[in-house]
Amino acid sequence: MEKILAPSLLAGNHANLKNALDLVENDGRKWIHLDIMDGHFVPNLSFGPQTVSDLREGSKLFFDVHLMLDNPHLYIDSFCKAGADLITVHIEPSYDHIETIKQIKSAQKKVGIALNPATPVDDITEIINEEGVDLVLFMTVNPGFGGQSFIHEVLHKVETLSNLREKTSSNFMIEVDGGVGPEHIQPCLNAGVDIFVAGTAYFKRNSTERHQFAQAVGEIN
C-alpha cells in the first residue's frame, strides 16, 4: 500500500497558514492534515470551514480533514463544501456514527474513523465490517495540543488492526497522528502504518531533513 507523509498544518505559523501550505506543496508532499478542534472534545481550538475553504483555493494537495468535535455530524456539509477530500470523525463522542459516515460518502468524499490512545480497536470493528471506511486514524498522543510525546503502546493496536485488514482482505489505510518523528517511522511501518501525520517534527526541520523524512516513510525514493 502507498506510504504518505502528511504534514499537520496545526504546527504551521497561524499568522500565515498559506505560507505553510505552500512549503508543503513545494516540498512535493501529496497530503496536508487539517486538525479541526472545538474546545470541547479536545481542550483546544484550531480553525473552521472558512479557513479550509480559503486554503483550498489554488492548492492541489489532498486535504485530510480530521474532525475532533463532539458533534461532527453538524459540520460535515460545511467541510465537504470547503474542499475536504477525506473527513475523519472520532468514535468516542455520542452521535450517529453510521449516518455520519453515510453522509460523508454521499458527498463523494473519502471517510475515516479515529481512535484516541485509550480506545480499544473493538470499538470500531463493527463499523469497519458493516460500513467500510477508507482510513483508520490512531491518535498516538492524547489529542489537543502539538509537541507531545509519541505513545508507543498504541502500535500494539495498530498491529492488531493491520492483521485484521490482512485477514479480511480489506484496503483501508492506517494513519498515525501525534508526536510522530523520524525515529518512529520503522516501528510504525513494522506495525502496518501507511500514513504518517507529522506537525512539529516536519515544520521545524530544514528542506533536506524534510526530504529525508519523506524518504524514510517511503513516500519518495
Q: Is residue 10 over pLDDT 70? A: yes
Q: What is the pLDDT of residue 143?
A: 82
Q: What is the pLDDT of residue 146?
A: 65
**Average pLDDT of span 187-192:** 98
How far is the C-alpha of 200 from the C-alpha of 204, rounded, in Å?
6
- 177 tagged catalytic: yes
**pTM, whole model, 2 decimals?**
0.96
CB 114 within 8 A of CB 135: no
What's the pLDDT band for 73 if we cut at 50, 70, 90? very high
- Catalytic choice (35, 38, 64, 194): 35
Specify the higher pLDDT residue, 29 or 131: 29
Q: What is the pLDDT of residue 148?
A: 78
Q: Which bin fits 142, alpha (ψ -120 to 50), beta or left (φ > 0)?
A: beta
Place of cell 484496503: 171
Place of cell 496545526: 10
* Residues linked to residue 196 through DSSP beta bridges, in sequence order: 5, 176
What's the pLDDT band for 58 if we cut at 50, 70, 90? confident
**Average pLDDT of span 184-199:** 97
Q: What is the pLDDT of residue 193?
A: 98
- Catalytic choice (38, 64, 177, 194): 177
| Residue percentage of the chain with pLDDT more than 90 | 93
Number of domains, the chain: 1
Q: What is the pLDDT of residue 60?
A: 96
**Which residues touch 151 (CB under 8 Å, ≥6 apart)?**
117, 140, 141, 142, 178, 179
Q: Is residue 24 over pLDDT 80? A: yes
Q: What is the pLDDT of residue 69?
A: 97
For residue range 98-153, what is the model confidence (pLDDT) as tens digits?
Answer: 999 999 999 999 999 999 999 999 999 999 988 999 999 999 999 876 677 999 99
- 54 tagged catalytic: no
At 68, which CATH number?
A: 3.20.20.70
Domain that holds residue 142: 5-9+12-217
How many C-beta neighbours within 10 Å does residue 102 have? Answer: 13
